[in-house]
C-alpha cells in the first residue's frame, strides 16, 4: 500500500457510457492483483474530502487501468479529466480474490462494471471457466471479448433482452445449474450489486461451493480507519460482527455475509 502520484496516460470511452482510465502508476501496478482496488483523488472536484474507490481492471509494470460509469458527483467530475492530468492514488488496497482450487473450474458472475476485476482475474486464471455477465441493456455488458479470447464460456443476459438471454443474470445461472454441464467441482467469483451477490452466494452455498464476493460499499478512508464501509458478517463461532470492506475485504466468502 502506498500513496502514488501519477499521470493519466489515456482516458477514453470504453463502451456506451462507460469510460476507461489508464494511469502510469507503475508502483501500484506492479503490486496490484485481481480483486484489489485503488482509492483515487479526483482532481478539480471542489469541496470533496473523500477519494473514490475503483477495482483494478488491469495492473502491471506500466501502470493500472480502471473502468467507470458516471453515476454521481465524483464520477461526473472525472469525465473532465484529460491525458497528462496528475492525480493521487492510494493502493493497491484490500485483498485480492483467492486462487481457484486446482481441481475446480472457476465460475464468474458479473453485473455492470463489476466485470472489471473479474476480467483481470480471468487474465491470471490457470484455466478458462464460465462467466455470466448481466446488465440492464446491451451497453452494460462489458468485456465479453476479454473472456472469449481466452477461451471462456460467456453467457450474457440483459434485462431488456437487447443482448443475450432476456432477464436477470440469475435466469441464466439457474438454467445452467439445472443442466448436466454444471456438475463438477466449482469455485465461484462475483462482483456486482448486492442483490446479485446475494443470489450467487445462495446458489453456490446450496451446492456446497465457495463463492468469493467482491462487495461495493461507500468508503471513507479506504484503509480501515474510519469504519464507514462495514459489512455485517457471521464469525466462525456463530456470533455476528462487522468487517471493514476496504481493509478486510473487499472479497468475502458468501456464507459469512449477513445480508
Partner 1 sequence: MVKSSSKTPDTTAPSMAVDIGGIRMRNPVMVASGTFGYGPEYADLVDLNALGALVVKGIRIAPWDGNPTPRMVEVPGGLVNAIGLQGPGVDGFIADYLPFLRGYEVPVIVNIWGRSLDEYREVAQRLDGVPGIAGIELNISCPNVKEGGLAFGTQPDMARSVIAAVRRATRLPLIPKLSPNVSDIRVFAAIAEAEGADAISLINSYPAMVIDVRTRRPVLANRVGGLSGPAIHPIAVKLVWEAARAVKIPVVGMGGITGPQEALEFLIAGARAVAVGTANFTDPTTALRVRDGIRDYLAEQGMHDIGELIGSLAT
Query: Is 256 within 8 Å of 231 (Cβ atoms)?
Result: no
Nearer to partner 1, 48 or 81 (CB): 48
* Cis status of the peptide bond prior to 92, with omega within 30 of 0: yes
Nearer to partner 1, 67 or 221 (CB): 221
For the CB of residue 8, give the shortest distance to partner 1 in the complex, in Å: 19
Nearer to partner 1, 153 or 248 (CB): 248
For the CB of residue 60, give the shortest distance to partner 1 in the complex, in Å: 21
Query: Is 214 within 8 Å of 54 (Cβ atoms)?
Result: no
**Radius of gyration for the alpha carbons in the chain, expressed in angstroms and rounded:** 18
Query: Is 201 within 8 Å of 254 (Cβ atoms)?
Result: yes
Residue with C-alpha cell 486464471? 125
Nearer to partner 1, 1 or 163 (CB): 1
For the CB of residue 245, give the shortest distance to partner 1 in the complex, in Å: 10
What are the cell numbers at 127?
484455466
For the CB of residue 228, give the shortest distance to partner 1 in the complex, in Å: 4
Query: Is 7 within 8 Å of 84 (Cβ atoms)?
Result: yes
Nearer to partner 1, 93 or 121 (CB): 93
Name the residues that contact partner 1, by CB under 8 A: 1-3, 41, 46-51, 73, 88, 90, 217-218, 220-231, 241-242, 247
For the CB of residue 4, give the shortest distance to partner 1 in the complex, in Å: 11
Three-state SS for 153-206 is EEEEEECCCCCCEECCHHHHHHHHHHCHHHCCCEEEEEECCHHHHHHHHHHHHH
Nearer to partner 1, 88 or 95 (CB): 88
Q: What is the DSSP annotation of 21-34?
A: EEE--HHHHHH--T
For the CB of residue 69, give the shortest distance to partner 1 in the complex, in Å: 19
What are the cell numbers at 42?
479526483
Amino acid at each position: 500500500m502506498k500513496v502514488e502520484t501519477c499521470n493519466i496516460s489515456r482516458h477514453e470511452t470504453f463502451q456506451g457510457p462507460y469510460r476507461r482510465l489508464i494511469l502510469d502508476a507503475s508502483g501500484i501496478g506492479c503490486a496490484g492483483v485481481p480483486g484489489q482496488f485503488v482509492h483515487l483523488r479526483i482532481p478539480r472536484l471542489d469541496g470533496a474530502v473523500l477519494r473514490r474507490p475503483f477495482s483494478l481492471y488491469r495492473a502491471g509494470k506500466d501502470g493500472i487501468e480502471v473502468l467507470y460509469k458516471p453515476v454521481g458527483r465524483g464520477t461526473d467530475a472525472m469525465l473532465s479529466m484529460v491525458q497528462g492530468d496528475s492525480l493521487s492514488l492510494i493502493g493497491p488496497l484490500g485483498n485480492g480474490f483467492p486462487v481457484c482450487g486446482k481441481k475446480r473450474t472457476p465460475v464468474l458472475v458479473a453485473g455492470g462494471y463489476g466485470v472489471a476485476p473479474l476480467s483481470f482475474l480471468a487474465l491470471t486464471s490457470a484455466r478458462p471457466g464460465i462467466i455470466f455477465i448481466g446488465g440492464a441493456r446491451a451497453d452494460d455488458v462489458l468485456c465479453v471479448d476479454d473472456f472469449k479470447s481466452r477461451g471462456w464460456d460467456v453467457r450474457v443476459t440483459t434485462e431488456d433482452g437487447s443482448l443475450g438471454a432476456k432477464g436477470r443474470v440469475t435466469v441464466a445461472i439457474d438454467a445452467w445449474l439445472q443442466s448436466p454441464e454444471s456438475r463438477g467441482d466449482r469455485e465461484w467469483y462475483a462482483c456486482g450489486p448486492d442483490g446479485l451477490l446475494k443470489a450467487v452466494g445462495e446458489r453456490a452455498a446450496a451446492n456446497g461451493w465457495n463463492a468469493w464476493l467482491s462487495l461495493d460499499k461507500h468508503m471513507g478512508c479506504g484503509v480501515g480507519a474510519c469504519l464507514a464501509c462495514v459489512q455485517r458478517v457471521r464469525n466462525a463461532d456463530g456470533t455476528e460482527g462487522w468487517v471493514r470492506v476496504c481493509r478486510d475485504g473487499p472479497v468475502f466468502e458468501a456464507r459469512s455475509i449477513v445480508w
